[in-house]
Amino acid sequence: MPATCEWQEHEDIFHGAVPVILKSADREDRSSSLTVAITHSTGQPRNQKVLRVQLTDESDAFLLYTLEISEDDFHSLKTEQNILVDFLTFPSKVIELLRQCQSSAAEDHPRFVAVLSTQSGQPMLTITETNPFRQLAHLALRFVAGNDAAIKRYLAGRVTEYKAQLLTTSEELRERTAQLQATAERAASQAEQLRNIGDEHARELHERDVRHAGLLNASREAAVAAQQEQASASEEARQRLLDRSEAELRELRRSEAEARARVGELTSSTHELSLRQRETASRLQGAEQEVGLLRQEATGLREENARLSARVHALEKALSARDVELAAASQAASDKETLLAQMGCAREAAAESKRQLEDSLAMYKEGHSRLQEQLRLSAQEITKGNSIIAKLQGDSRELKAKLKLKAQQLLQQGSSTEAADSAGATPAAATAAAATLTKHETKPPVATRLNFDNTTHGADAEATAKMYVPGAALASLRSRAGLALAESLPSADRARIGAAGADSTGGSAFAEYLAPSSPRQTSYGGVPLGTTLGTA
């Protein structure tokens, strides 16, 4: 399960030292304490969750094994090793196994053991449980040994961590030094206050002693003077003076007792201040010892920092070379971005052209819809015209039958007329009259044709069919029972027959109309416009 995910964010869920047995092909088995770091992150592609496990050794900076398990990889691992938990519960169970290995490290015969084997070429971490019957392998994870780039990234991260720790230690040292200086200043201030209090106490005691002695001397002198001045006074006056002196003496003794009580209080306060001074001195000594230890640790950290600085300098050289490669890659990336921008412009132009084509297509569809509607209306009109044509065909057949019947009647009338007029007319004149009658009046139509052009449809054709004025040919047909057929002809054909009415024969135009001709337009939208009627 190689590390192929691009991390977006990660969350540390375990970081600790785990006792591991290292097995390799070129060395004997040995026990070591490896640092195991487990993080839960979200990476690409598809924004999926990834569990990342990293093995490092504090004694070997170049030992780095990593493992990344995505949700897809976990399904394969779950099927392969018969794991019963899901992807979200899997990290907590792995941490429980690692903690079991930590707690079993102090036992003579550990129950849980973690074994890292590199004998097969690919590092594999196996966590086994030993019971009285056998060893059970709970989990086997295949790791990937770190390459130069991964080890450099790891060492750079460790250097960054050490720098952060060194900065934090320096900040703590400065804070402790400032605290010690403040404590020393407070101790000096308290000692000065204690000396001032002692001096003030001694001065106050001396002043009280002097004042009490002066008062006592003054009282004694006053008593002696009173005794000398009142030597001749009576015993009662002496006794009164004696009582007064004793009262004053009691007052002085009471004042002396109060002064002594005040001195005791000041003495106890002085003793307490002395105890505080000794405690402060002991704390100051402890702080000085701690400062000495911190200075020693700071010296060691400076030496470690010097070594790390040399290593960082070497890493910075390698980083500068990587920066040059990164600059070249950045230039290539900028060229690709320029090409992508040009392709984006072309895509926008194509999108604009597509939009215009879609607008044109919508317009054409709308025109097509209108044309379809017109076609539907035209088809309806054509259907109506065909019904009219069918009706005209029926009328034409009826007229043909009537014309045949009329022709037979005319022939019979001609025969009877010829028989009746045989006495007063010559045979040649009768034959000529019969021939003329047969030529102009008894010839049946050979065909009937009805055409509709683009401007004549439906009701218009029916209306124009009722407006025909035949002229001379119509007069000839009317005399021969052709009035019904002539009135049903279209207006254009009536006009054409009427224009030919001045013909000497009077029936050639009508015969031309009845003759078949090539239609100008026979269909519209798949619907026939005209129908040719056969002769009887």
Q: Is the pLDDT of residue 258 over 70?
A: yes
494 — pLDDT class (breaks 50, 70, 90): low
CA pair distance 35, 114, nearest whole angstrom: 12
Q: Write down all domains in the chain, each with its CATH number in brackets.
A: 12-146 (2.170.210.20)
34-88 pLDDT, tens digit each: 989 999 887 666 677 889 998 988 888 888 899 989 888 899 999 998 889 999 9
| Contacts for 284 with CB less than 8 Å, ≥ 6 apart | 180, 183, 184, 187
Neighbours of 225 (CB within 10 A): 10
Query: Judging by beta carbons within 10 Å of its beta carbon (0-12, 13-18, 19+), is residue 202 exposed, middle or buried?
Result: exposed
101 — pLDDT class (breaks 50, 70, 90): very high
Q: What pLDDT, on a 0 to 100 scale, did the predictor assign at position 463?
A: 43
327 — pLDDT class (breaks 50, 70, 90): confident
The predicted model gives 456-485 an average pLDDT of 44
Q: What pLDDT, on a 0 to 100 scale, did the predictor assign at position 302?
A: 87
Show the CA angle centred on residue 474, arms to residues 473 and 478, nearest 5°: 120
Q: Is the pLDDT of residue 5 over 50?
A: no
Report yes or no: 406 and 496 within 8 Å, Cβ to Cβ.
no
Residue with tokens 């074994």: 115
Show the CA angle centred on residue 200, arms to residues 196 and 202, nearest 5°: 120
270-308 pLDDT, tens digit each: 888 888 888 888 888 888 888 888 888 888 888 888 888
Query: Judging by beta carbons within 10 Å of its beta carbon (0-12, 13-18, 19+), is residue 234 exposed, middle or buried?
Result: exposed
Q: Element (H or E) spanning 135, and its range?
A: strand 135-142
Neighbours of 65 (CB within 10 A): 23
Report yes or no: 55 and 143 within 8 Å, Cβ to Cβ.
yes
Mean pLDDT is highest, among 238-247, 329-338, 521-530, for 329-338
CA pair distance 199, 122, nearest whole angstrom: 83
Give the residue, 17 or 442, on which the prediction is more confident: 17
pTM for this prediction: 0.34
Q: What pLDDT, on a 0 to 100 scale, did the predictor assign at position 199?
A: 86
Which amino acid is it at 466? K
Query: Judging by beta carbons within 10 Å of its beta carbon (0-12, 13-18, 19+), is residue 98 exposed, middle or buried?
Result: buried
Residue count of the chain: 536
Q: What pLDDT, on a 0 to 100 scale, did the predictor assign at position 290?
A: 85
Lowest mean pLDDT among 152-166, 417-431, 437-451: 437-451
Name beta bridge partners: 523. Answer: 528
Q: Is the pLDDT of residue 468 over 70?
A: no
Picking from 72, 88, 93, the residue whose alpha carbon sits closest to that of residue 4 is: 72
Q: Is the pLDDT of residue 474 over 70?
A: no
Report yes or no: 20 and 57 within 8 Å, Cβ to Cβ.
no
Strand order in the sheet with 124-130: 135-142, 124-130, 112-117, 6-23, 30-44, 48-57, 60-70, 144-145
CA pair distance 497, 519, nearest whole angstrom: 18
Q: Is the pLDDT of residue 140 over 60?
A: yes
Q: Cα Rg for the chain, rounded, in angstroms?
A: 68
Neighbours of 486 (CB within 10 A): 22
Q: What pLDDT, on a 0 to 100 scale, did the predictor assign at position 518?
A: 42
Residue with tokens 């010829």: 418
